[in-house]
Structure 1
Amino acid sequence: LASAQARVIESAVPPQVPYKPKRARIVAISVLLALLFGVGAALLLASLDATIKNSSDVAEKLKRPLLGIVPLLKGNALSVVSTPGNTDEAREVDLRFAEAMRTIRTAVSLDRVDKPHKIILVTSSIGNEGKSIVALNLAIAFARAEKTLLLDGDMRRPSVRKMLGLRRDVPGLSELLSERARLIECIIKTGFENLDAISTGFIPPDPLELLSSPRMTKALKVLANDYARVIIDCPPILPVSDAALLSKYADSVLFVVKADATPAPQIRNGLALLERVDAPITGIVLTQLDTRKAEKYGDYGYAGYYAPYASKS
């Protein structure tokens, strides 16, 4: 047999690290995939979130003017604006909230300078969006300069009497419309200068029947002559049609939207119901906006702009 023709070129050396698996590459790829998955999930959730988060969403998703942004309040600050009682003494309102109410008041006042909106209706698409708090504090803001009346038109879940600490034995809107009381008997003086109120009175079995009565038309005409502004707190538009009915008496309708909560399609449905009856929708009031999240969504430096107010409150 012929001998093999071979020679050693280089001696084999044991490797210092294993050739496979390449752990560094696996870790790098795993981190990259995790980052891509996280970004993708965040983008997917953002695309599926149809709520209104800032002023840009109001313009893009609702196609309506933004009248004002009301900051999110908690604890005592919320109690002050939701149950102010019947006195204006020692009422320390959150400065951001007070500024928001003045902004809304100015927007409504400037909307029609030649013929001011006298009867202003406040509603929302669903409940718990803050419409009653907006109606109450907007009435207080208007009363700083002119004679104002706050009318509780929500005969389903009334709140004005409780928020203002009004007496229970005074007749309200239900008694007036059912001819059990005269208008003058239903008007209550509040502890706020230039601000009167009318509560709902007893809760009727069929509110729509009373609200559509000729006495409602007559009462609002009288009130519009006696007061510079009449603010009506109405039920939400989607569950019941009271707001659609009352909107025919209104010069202006303010539509309240809770930030980062109510889906845009639901809001558009509510606006469509009002549009169907030719309601004079002035614009949107965005409520309960978390100012700490506002910067996250790029809302024109909202949190930074209100920082001085937040530091004082």
Structure 2
Amino acid sequence: MEQGGMRVEDFIYAIKKRYKMILVIIVFVGISSLALFGRGTTIKSNDEVKIEYEINSKIYIYNAREKVQNDENKQIQGIDARSMNSFSEVLKSRTFMKSVLDEAKSNININTLNQTFWVIVIPDSQVIKLAIIGNDKEELIKVLEQFQNKVIQTAPLIIGNSEAKVIEEIGVVGATELVRTKPKNNNKIAVIMGLTIFASFMLAFLLEYLDNTIKNGKDIEEQFKIPVLGKLLKNNEEKEYIKIRTCIKYSSFNIMNKVVAVTNVDKVKNTNNISKKLVVSLARIEYKTLIITSELGNNNSKDLLHYLDGRESLDDIIEIENEYLDSISLGDIRNGNIDLLDSKLMDNFISGLKLRYECIIIEASSLNSSEVSQILVAKADSVILLAKANKTKNLIFEKSLSLIKNLNTDVIGVILN
């Protein structure tokens, strides 16, 4: 992370980089919250429990002369169904209900009564059932009594020659205990999830802020003022090697800058692979290239150390890979022969190679952990540093640059892999 603090793009990068961690935290907290707060809780206190009462009565509508028999000993005809239905509609009208509420001086709202009061004509009879539902039993009884009185008064006016009487007194025929439950803790869960998302983002930012590794090429270019030659990914290697070889080609036009050391900032062993792919890419454009590889040959192989100690000639140690690519094995460097690398003979050897090749690549393994690598970098005209995004520490990278500066070697650029 830069010393100046995090930028907006750093926040976005931190989220993208650690999105799996963020998702795991959110999912875990979400499941835990649902398990703890997902169920509603039944309220048991008396203040929260309400009783819903159903109160009803029945009224009989009959012809005033219904029980009087005529001369032929026939009974008078009763109230017809059509008249009963018409009368029930009058009782259900808002005007009739409002008059009942006003006379009863009830605090029940007309809209509430309209939804909780029923007038039912019992089929094949002259009986009307009045029913009302609510929580205040006393108030309901008062209203239903007034309904009864009003029905008895109104029946003769609506249905000619009729009378009405109560055949079933007001009674509580149903009492349902309504146990209210607390709603699910949706608000609590929402708050927890919101805080979790915020906290997971902040954790990602904090980890990113404390992370002192190189993030990307932009970090290197802005912080260390060194160009990034390429970023090697599995799906773009070939394209990136073309970019890298172009940089090397133009930097090696000058005879004083033909020898390029490739060295790793970290203690890893991928220098050989990158160097080989690089020289193969240079050879493809018919660029006469030599690679001095740090790989050991077999016991009978001829290497650079054999040449430096006088046992072999230059032509004997050169392995021809193809028309444009040759290689020389560095050999088994031990404490007793390190001095050969840091000798005048080595300087003359490199000067001679510059006359034969357009570009010379030296594998220098790990710069910070190998004295041999440091000597090879010092013998080169310039150096390419290998670093890993999100792995290489800023401090190690800075130490490498300081070391290269002391070795008096120029840095062409960095390859991220």
Q: Distance in 2 between matches of 1:231 and 1:44?
A: 41
Q: Retained in 1: the 8 A contact 2:241–2:278?
A: yes
Q: Does 1:48 align with 2:210?
A: yes
TM-score, structure 2 normalization = 0.53
Q: Which has the larger radius of gyration?
A: 2
Q: Distance in 2 between matches of 1:114 and 1:198?
A: 23
Q: Distance in 2 between matches of 1:228 and 1:18?
A: 83
Deviation track 1:27-59 (CA, whole Å, cap 9, x = no partner) reads: 122112211221111111112222223221222
Q: Distance in 2 between matches of 1:217 and 1:112?
A: 18
Q: Distance in 2 between matches of 1:256 and 1:141?
A: 17
Deviation track 1:75-97 (CA, whole Å, cap 9, x = no partner) reads: xxxxxxxxxxxxxxxxxxx7x22
Q: Distance in 1 between matches of 2:225 and 2:363?
A: 24
Matching residue within 315, 338, 363 for 1:233: 363
Identity of aligned residues (%): 25
Q: Does 1:274 align with 2:404?
A: yes
Shift of 1:276: 1.7
Q: Structure 2 vs 1, CA of residues 257 and 122 (structure 1 numbering), >3 Å: closer, same or farther?
A: same
Question: Which ranges of structure 2 fall in alignment gaps of 5 or more residues?
Answer: 1-106, 109-134, 137-176
Q: Retained in 2: the 8 A contact 1:174–1:204?
A: no
Q: Retained in 2: the 8 A contact 1:70–1:97?
A: yes
- Tell me which residue corresponds to 2:192: 30
Matching residue within 134, 143, 156 for 2:274: 134
Q: Structure 2 vs 1, CA of residues 223 and 111 (structure 1 numbering), >3 Å: closer, same or farther?
A: closer
- Tell me which residue corresponds to 1:171: 302
Shift of 1:71: 1.1
SS at match of 2:346: helix
Letter in 2 for 1:50: N
Shift of 1:209: 1.2
Aligned residues: 245
Q: Distance in 2 between matches of 1:247 and 1:203?
A: 15
Q: Does 1:150 align with 2:281?
A: no
Matching residue within 175, 180, 192 for 1:16: 180
TM-score, structure 1 normalization = 0.70
Shift of 1:265: 1.4
Q: Retained in 2: the 8 A contact 1:253–1:279?
A: yes
Shift of 1:199: 0.6
- Tell me which residue corresponds to 1:59: 221
Q: Structure 2 vs 1, CA of residues 207 and 54 (structure 1 numbering), >3 Å: closer, same or farther?
A: farther
Q: Distance in 2 between matches of 1:265 and 1:202?
A: 31
Question: Which ranges of structure 1 fall in alignment gaps of 5 or more residues?
Answer: 1-8, 73-93, 162-166, 288-313
Q: Structure 2 vs 1, CA of residues 180 and 113 (structure 1 numbering), >3 Å: closer, same or farther?
A: closer
Q: Distance in 2 between matches of 1:112 and 1:120?
A: 8
Matching residue within 338, 342, 350 for 1:208: 338
RMSD of aligned Cα (Å): 2.7
- Tell me which residue corresponds to 2:314: 183
Shift of 1:234: 0.7
Q: Distance in 2 between matches of 1:238 and 1:201?
A: 20
* Structure 1 or 2: more strand by fraction: 2
Q: Distance in 2 between matches of 1:61 and 1:69?
A: 17
Letter in 2 for 1:133: N
Q: Retained in 2: the 8 A contact 1:124–1:237?
A: yes
Shift of 1:107: 1.4
